[in-house]
Amino acid sequence: MVNKILRKINGATIFFVLVLAFDLTVFLMSHDGYYLSFVVETNYIFPVLLTLVGFFVLARRYKILKLYVICITIPVVLIVALLAATGDSYGTISSPAKNVTVTIEHRNATLGETNHFYDFYVHVPSLYPGLMRKVNKDTVYIMTRNTEGEDDLDVLGAGNAEWKDNKIIFHSAYEKAIEVDL
């Protein structure tokens, strides 16, 4: 029995298992507040497309009917399109000593007034390049009106961020000082 199973394992199966292991790792890391920068900054499109490629490799190897492949591909492509259309933007700031880098995830929604939303990630020095930790539990939000020509980072006051000890203080013209603990 085990011998039969081992004979069926091939490169396609191993590739698909590795893709699923990567997806599970990304999910478990995000549950603990840790993220990979290339995953977050692509709005999670990379893991979805990688999983789709793994599925195509597996479907070809095991000769899965084209109808099943099409039925799975269409919803995945729609999900990727939705993620791409509604994706967040990212900006990075560094401390004056260049020893701490913070990535700011920002987006806005306008309906009469504009609501600006921010999440903050500090880059963690580790063996894994691009590892980040989310530092705010709740999304920071600022409501503005008539901010023509200013982007989300200008509204936050990222240009005049003040670095003190283990925190950043953003001095926004539209909100009281916003403190983010690192």
Question: For 69-97, what is the mean pLDDT?
Answer: 90
| CB neighbourhood size of 116 (10 A) | 25
Q: Are the CB atoms for 132 and 100 separated by under 8 Å?
A: no
pLDDT at position 8 is 64
- Angle CA(82)–CA(85)–CA(89) in degrees, nearest 5? 125
Question: For 22-36, what is the mean pLDDT?
Answer: 93
- 92: Cβ–Cβ under 8 A, 6 or more apart, which residues? 101, 102, 103, 104
pLDDT at position 2 is 58
**How does pLDDT run across 36-81, given as a tens digit for each residue?**
998 988 888 889 889 999 999 888 888 888 899 999 999 999 988 9
Q: Reading across the β-sheet that carries 167-170, which strands appear in turn?
A: 162-164, 167-170, 178-181
Tell me the pLDDT band of 10, cut-offs 50, 70 and 90: confident
Tell me the pLDDT band of 3, cut-offs 50, 70 and 90: low
**How does pLDDT run across 110-155, given as a tens digit for each residue?**
888 999 999 999 998 888 888 999 999 999 999 998 877 789 999 9
CA distance linking residue 159 with residue 180, whole number of Å: 15
Q: Is the pLDDT of residue 159 over 80?
A: yes
What residues does each domain of the chain span? 2-85, 89-181
Q: Is the pLDDT of residue 29 over 70?
A: yes
